[in-house]
Amino acid sequence: MKLPYLVLDVFTRSPLKGNPLAVVPDADHLFDDQMQAVAREFNLSETVFLCKPQKDRNSASVRIFTPHQELPFAGHPTVGAAVVLGLGGKATALRIEEKVGLVTALFEKVDRRTGRARFTLPKLPSRIADLPDRLTVAQALGISVDDIGCELFKPAVFSAGVTFHLVPVRNAEVLRRISVNRGLMETAFHHDHNSVYAFTLTPGEPNNDIAARMFAMGVGEDPGTGSAAAALIGLLAEQDLGNAQTDRILRQGVEMGRPCAISLHYRKENDVLVHGAIGGEAVVIGEGTLDLA
């Protein structure tokens, strides 16, 4: 069995930057265990499988796998899938079926192998819990208790389909020197996948508003995490007054040498979050065929 695939770098337009992603464009004939085995073979943070949609008016059905499990939703695979679909057709509006629900994406072509996609969150972020034990959180991140907190932001747990422990830190220098203590991850970040998204505001940096790093058990550090950025929208929106549209640029992966730029968009009405979206660019850097005969 021949299985064509593409490799993209997501949240960037520069090859060998951003977050790598494998995309299998025609995966209808694959069983679930085969998808999982292929994702394990690529051994990237996620592999996307594009299948025919269940409803004709939709663009595709998307399955997202890590090397270990299927995910209901993830940001950089959604952006990458939208760019592949957009480059392969003429549509600028895409309707993508994911396990978490229907995702609507807008696509803009940059060149023959690069595109930009922005998608509405299929599930708005919601607060799951506070994260009051600052001492354990600080010890798990290898920083001091005084390093935790940024303006009015306090640690909390949010989810927009995938759960993250959101930890604001004092500044970009603190973010840079985080050194995770794996032995304390499960104790400090005990909700779901033990994933932590540390972030800070960056008023002194010209090209972004927020900087972040993501760490997870069994994964290590991830260069660009759209599902975490989606969860972060919930915490950001709590502190924003008024009902105007808010647009911010978040950088991630700089400390890994894989810089990513993630756009965040959200809107509140009557002090309630009613819309959230994230986006970014992606570039196709390779293609090939797996021979599974």
Tens of pLDDT, residues 70-113: 998 899 999 999 999 999 998 899 999 999 889 999 999 999 99
Whole-number Å distance between alpha carbons of 105 and 115: 12
Q: Give residue 1's pLDDT.
A: 87
Q: Give residue 218's pLDDT.
A: 73
Question: Does 46 participate in catalysis according to the annotation?
Answer: yes
Q: Give residue 90's pLDDT.
A: 85
Q: Give residue 244's pLDDT.
A: 80
Instruction: Decide if domain 126-275 falls under CATH 3.10.310.10.
Output: yes
**Rounded to whole angstroms, what are the CA distances from 72 to 172, 189, 190, 292?**
31, 21, 20, 26
Q: Which CATH superfamily is domain 2-122+281-291 in?
A: Diaminopimelate Epimerase; Chain A, domain 1 (3.10.310.10)
- What the block records as the tokens of 53 is 């949609």
Q: Give residue 192's pLDDT.
A: 84
Are the C-beta atoms of 223 and 255 separated by less than 8 Å?
Answer: no
Residue holding tokens 């930009």?
Answer: 116
**Rounded to whole angstroms, what are the CA distances from 123 to 42, 189, 233, 263?**
29, 22, 12, 17
Q: Give residue 241's pLDDT.
A: 66
Write phi, then psi, for 122 (nearest 5 degrees).
-70, -20
Are the C-beta atoms of 258 and 222 separated by less than 8 Å?
Answer: no
Ranges of CATH 3.10.310.10 domains, the chain: 2-122+281-291, 126-275
**Rounded to whole angstroms, what are the CA distances from 288 to 22, 23, 80, 267?**
11, 11, 17, 41
Write phi, then psi, for 165 (nearest 5 degrees).
-90, 110
Instruction: Give the predicted TM-score (pTM) of the model.
Output: 0.94
Segments of the chain with pLDDT less than 70: 241-242
Q: Active-site residue among 41, 46, 221, 255?
A: 46
